[in-house]
Chains A and B, each alone.
Chain A
Amino acid sequence: MPLSFPTYQRSLRDDWFARFQISGVKIPFAINWGYMIKPNKPDTYLTYGLWKDDYFKNTYYNSPNLLDGRSLGNDSYVSAEGIHLQFVGQEGNFVVLLRTNNPDDILGWWFKYGGEPVK
């Protein structure tokens, strides 16, 4: 009986992620993020996700595909300048996950968070 080894297909996607922490602020706080993709790249995409840090750590390295459908909140809309808006109704430790199928086509992206300070 030969030995069996599980193998894992490599994903064609690449990720950026960054962690940040929110506490002692007025809820909800706002997130804006934007991106720019090279022109004439219709097959390139970039998706955004916001996750609680604990869930991200427990999920990302085991079953990263689960992160595709369980983001906190949703993007409201996309403006002409490629800016996304999200309001987050809780504080804590978060992870922003940007996922693309071709990082070479991503000219850049940015992400900022803020809100009304607690008086």
Chain B
Amino acid sequence: MKKLTLITISIISLAVLAASFMACAANVPSSPQPTVTVKATETVTATPAPITVTAPAPAPVTVTVTPTPSPTITISPTGVPEAYPVEKYNNPSFLVGQDIIGYNKTPQSDGTIKQTPIYQDVFLNLGKWGFLTKKDATFVPHIPTISARRLVR
């Protein structure tokens, strides 16, 4: 009880002291308020946050099967060579003539017999001096001709 009384007295004393100070301050002439400029420099160090990349989940793989057309088989006509066999003739065997080796005899309506000769090629080996094919020749497409000359006016 005694302690509470002492605290109350102290508060009252402080209040009286503050009132006295305010009364004195009111009697002092006013002075201009000072301008205070505060410059502050702050250094901020930013530390990037770790980047976490999350890969999207792989799309489901769809396999589409397209039926391929069946292979086309081209059959070359039989008896048609792929290339003309010029090698077959690049030799000294020359055709030099024909021999008649016989006759076909055909009875006619008038009783006579018609004879048709049967020929056979005769080949002979000669000295071969040259052999050419169209690969060795000069090809001239669509030669000009003066047989159809006309004047354009």
Contacts and interface: CB of A to CB of B under 8 A. Distances in A.
B144 interface: yes
Interface string A78-119: 011001010000000000101000010011111111111100
A62 B146 contact: yes
A4 B90 CA distance: 52
Contacts of A114: 92, 94, 126-130
Contact of A9 (B79, B83, B94, B148): B148
The size bracket of the interface on B is 35 or more
Contacts of A10: 142, 144-145
B127 A98 contact: no
Contacts of B40: none
The size bracket of the interface on A is 35 or more
B129 A11 contact: no
A56 to B, nearest CB: 12
A1 B150 CA distance: 17
Interface majority SS on A: helix, strand, loop or mixed? strand
B145 A64 contact: yes
Interface in B22-81: 77, 79-81
Interface string B74-103: 000101110110100110101111100000
B140 A15 contact: yes
Interface string A1-42: 010111111111111111010100100011010101011000
Nearest to B119: A77
Contacts of B148: 8-9
22 contacts: A2-B153, A5-B152, A6-B149, A6-B151, A7-B152, A8-B145, A9-B148, A10-B142, A11-B143, A15-B143, A18-B132, A29-B129, A38-B80, A39-B77, A39-B79, A39-B80, A60-B143, A62-B146, A63-B146, A83-B121, A109-B133, A114-B129
